A and B are shown apart, each in its own frame.
Chain A
Amino acid sequence: MRKAFSILKIPLVIGLICAPLIMVLDGENEAGAFSNQIIQKGATGTDVIELQTRLKHIGFYTGNVDGVFGWGTYWAVRNFQYEFGMDVDGLVGPDMKAKLAKTTKYAPGQGSKSPDNSQTNQSKPKDSNVQAKNVPSGYSQNDIKLLANAVYGESRGEPYEGQVAVAAVILNRVQSASFPNTVSGVIFEPRAFTAVSDGQIWLAPNEKAKEAVIDAINGWDPTGEALYYFNPNTATSGWIWTRPQIKQIGKHIFCE
């Protein structure tokens, strides 16, 4: 109970400070629910929902209110800043929030009136209205899930670094001339991964595996551009030992 109170306290204090200020500016509007963070491109959460709703209200933003500060929102913010004679930097700071509060209406919960409510993530009630996700450019959430499945099936007992490494090897293969050119092509290549052959790929991956995949897509490659790896205790191919070895991470030896 104490904890709940202390979490409530912060917006309450901000609300108390801001309320008279905004009421002076515009008696009609409620105090904004914006927290005091500076919102920048790439951010997700309730603040972004409020921002999008408010910008949509005055016609600057035409996309979906999805809770992710993407390009559409970015241009809307910049246009707003331009129209109102502010610095055009795409950052939503206190000035811009005040301007927004003055010119637009927002009732919390407004953004969630979309029919897609069933899709929202119930484990995090705080962000329950956020209906989209950031994905690394060029990859879909389903690609990421498939990769996470493969990483989890192949290396769930490995250290985090080893999981990123397995994801990196898959991505290196997609890039490589001697392997298929798609994520699914590489993963389902016959005999390429034991987890695929024995069905362990269909175990539900944990959050660690997903994080490892996103790191690998974003450029982390702990393997030094390896194309193969094997567990020296269970390797069934003699040929794999002839590949130039780069390093060992956990139980896996990575090679070129």
Chain B
Amino acid sequence: MIRSLLIGVLAVGVVGTSYWGYKEHQEKNAVLINAENTYQRAFHDLNFHMDALEEKIGSTLAMNSRGSLSPALTEVWRLTSEAQNDVGQLPLTLMPFNKTEEFLTNIGSFSYRVAVRDLDENPLSDEEYETLKNLHSHSNDIKNELRKVQAMVIDHNLRWMDVELALASEGQPQDNTIIDGFKTVDKQVEGYSEVNWGPEVTQLNAKKENLDKNIKGKKLSEEEAKKHVIDFLDIDPKAKIEITTTGDESKYKAYSVSIENKDKKSSTNLDVTQKGANPIWILMDREIGEQKLSLNEAADQARAFLKEHDITNMTISESSQYDRMGVFTFVYQQGDVAIYPDAVHIKVALDNGDISGYESQDYLTNHHERSLITPTISRDEALDQVNPNVQIMDEGLGVIRNDLGEEVLCYEFMGTIEKETYRIFINAENGREERVEKMDGTEMNYDTA
């Protein structure tokens, strides 16, 4: 009796477990299929967008008037961004596909720049036409390679989940058809270096080199740099200081310094340039106590810090309080002109006024005395260019970097429309509206926790 009862209970148990297991398996499969479908969708979308891109670039080659060229190039710009979006959803992050993504971005910024230009006044140049032709043939190559991969995926039911697995397994040769296909595409794009993108695109990649270029002086040794740091931060020469050099292959030429201060329970880290040991950034880490200083007093601390280190003629362009930190942006003031590219950031702890952070990469990269032109248009002429709905509250002169990455002297107008504040830069040479910014920086607290 007991035995048959036991058998009954066990039988029910076995049936129950297998049912549960089957359900789990089903659910797992559903999740896997769902993930796989997301990948498949992104992949096929990518192919569609590359097809459309090639076609659109091709049709621009036969166009001549602004009326049809501008919309077509805008379409190219949109398609590149769609295609990039698709790439961003595929598990390609840790494999060589970045050349292709860069290529897409460059097509995008090139076509945008030409599309928004007044083509009646400034038609497509011969070089630009040549560039377009190049782009067409390259996008054609990419399209064809991708089509090959797509055909294989469809014919052989290849799964992107297997790509994930192949990429995750370390060391093994990654003999995955999809991966190989994408690698081939990227190899091909690598060979397209001869494309002439124009000034804007080359600008993008040059920041680090410029940092090294703009700093004069001779390269210091680690020991010499250490002395400079001790001097700059005014610390005990016997403090425990570690210093390392950044990688040889990197364009970022710096020494990284780390200082422990056991008494204050704080540590300070900073990078200094190898030439002249100028601090690129400083971060101090310690617990911040109750707020004792106002933001205004903190600003005085920041000013004193700059003065102490001979960084002169700096004015505050932004100040914000984040909990118990004051963060300030200073820009260089040459005469009565604010030079926005020459900016430093300073962070002040509001408990005792310590400078807890300093950042001067932009300043070091850009700073020099500029020979400023005198504005060719008057202040009133510039004001005529500003939207009449803006109520002007403040104005001045400023140098900013425009869309093409060139420094331009501008009339700067601050004004409001209703409750919003705007900053408008009007080129002082030709009256072009170089930049319009909506100024925000405060937000309602949405914390629900």
Q: Would you call A237 and B170 a contact (CB within 8 A)? A: yes
Tell me, rounded to whole Å, the shortest Cβ–Cβ distance linking B349 to chain A: 11
A224 within 8 A of B: yes
Check A112 for interface membership: any CB of B closer than 8 A: no
Q: In the assembled complex, which residues on chain A have CB atoms less than 8 Å from the CB atom of B325?
A: 211, 214
B93 with A192: CB separation less than 8 A = yes
**Contacting residue for A246 out of B252, B267, B444, CB 8 A:** B252
List, sorted by A's number, 27 A–B pairs whose CB atoms are closer than 8 Å: A38-B296, A40-B296, A40-B319, A42-B318, A42-B319, A42-B320, A43-B294, A70-B442, A71-B416, A72-B421, A75-B393, A135-B441, A136-B441, A137-B440, A141-B443, A161-B269, A189-B89, A191-B91, A191-B167, A207-B323, A221-B359, A222-B281, A224-B271, A236-B170, A239-B94, A239-B95, A246-B247
Contact of B88 among A134, A136, A185, A219 (CB under 8 A): A185
Interface pair B106/A177, CB less than 8 Å apart: yes
Contact among B283, B295, B329 for A160, CB-based, below 8 A? B283
A37 engages B297 (CB within 8 Å): yes
CB neighbors of A among B13-67 (8 A):
39
Which of B208, B267, B285, B294 meets A37, CB within 8 Å?
B294
Number of chain A interface residues as a range = 35 or more
Comparing A22-30, A61-69, A95-103, A146-154, the segment that makes contact with chain B is: A61-69
Residues of A within 8 A of B244 (CB): 247-248
Which positions 105-138 of chain A face chain B at CB distance < 8 Å?
116, 119-121, 130-137
Distance from B191 Cβ to chain A, minimum over Cβ atoms (Å)? 17
Which chain A residues have a beta carbon within 8 Å of chain B's beta carbons?
35, 37-45, 62-64, 66, 68, 70-72, 75, 78, 91, 116, 119-121, 130-137, 140-142, 159-161, 164, 177-181, 185-186, 189-192, 207, 211, 214-215, 218-222, 224-225, 236-240, 244-249, 255-256
Q: A63-B419, A134-B321 are in contact. List 15 more A-B contacts (CB 8 A).
A: A37-B297, A38-B297, A39-B296, A40-B294, A40-B299, A42-B321, A71-B440, A136-B320, A161-B283, A177-B102, A177-B106, A215-B347, A218-B345, A219-B345, A247-B247
| Residues A37 and B296 in contact, CB atoms below 8 Å apart | yes
Docked CA distance A125–B393 (Å): 36
Q: Which residues of A contact B446 (CB under 8 A)?
A: 119, 141-142
How many residues of B are counted as interface, with CB atoms below 8 angstroms from the partner's CB atoms?
78
Contact call A131/B319, Cβ cutoff below 8 A: no
B80-105 contact mask (Cβ, 8 Å, vs A): 1 or 0: 01001100111111111011011001
Interface membership of B164, Cβ < 8 A: yes
User: Chain A CB within 10 Å — which of B85, B93, B439 has the most?
Assistant: B93
A193 to chain B, nearest CB (A): 9
Query: Residue A220 contacts which of B90, B208, B281 (CB distance < 8 angstroms)?
Result: B281
Interface residue SS majority, chain A: loop
Evaluate contact between B421 and A179: CB separation under 8 angstroms: no
With a cutoff of 8 Å between Cβ atoms, the chain B residues found around residue A186 in the complex are: 88
Among A40, A220, A256, the residue within 8 A (CB) of B345 is A220
When chains A and B are docked, how far (Å) is the Cα of A172 from the Cα of B300?
32
Contact partners of A62 in chain B: CB under 8 A:
419
Inter-chain contact B445/A214, CB cutoff 8 Å: no
B254 contacts partner chain A, Cβ-Cβ < 8 Å: yes
Check: B308 CB closer than 8 A to any chain A CB.
no
Residues of chain B contacted by A142 (CB below 8 angstroms)? 446
B380 at the interface (CB under 8 A from A): no
Distance between Cα atoms of A72 and B440 in the complex (Å) = 10
Chain B positions 426 through 449: 1 when the CB is less than 8 Å from some CB of chain A, otherwise 0: 000000000000011111111110
B152 at the interface (CB under 8 A from A): no
Of the candidates A64, A71, A132, A207, the one whose C-beta lies within 8 Å of that of B439 is A71
Complex Cα distance A229/B166, Å?
21
Cβ-defined contact, A137 with B439, below 8 A: yes
Given known contacts A37-B294, A40-B299, A177-B105, A164 and B88 CB-to-CB distance under 8 angstroms: no
- A43-B294, A159-B267, A161-B285 known; A191-B164 Cβ under 8 A: yes
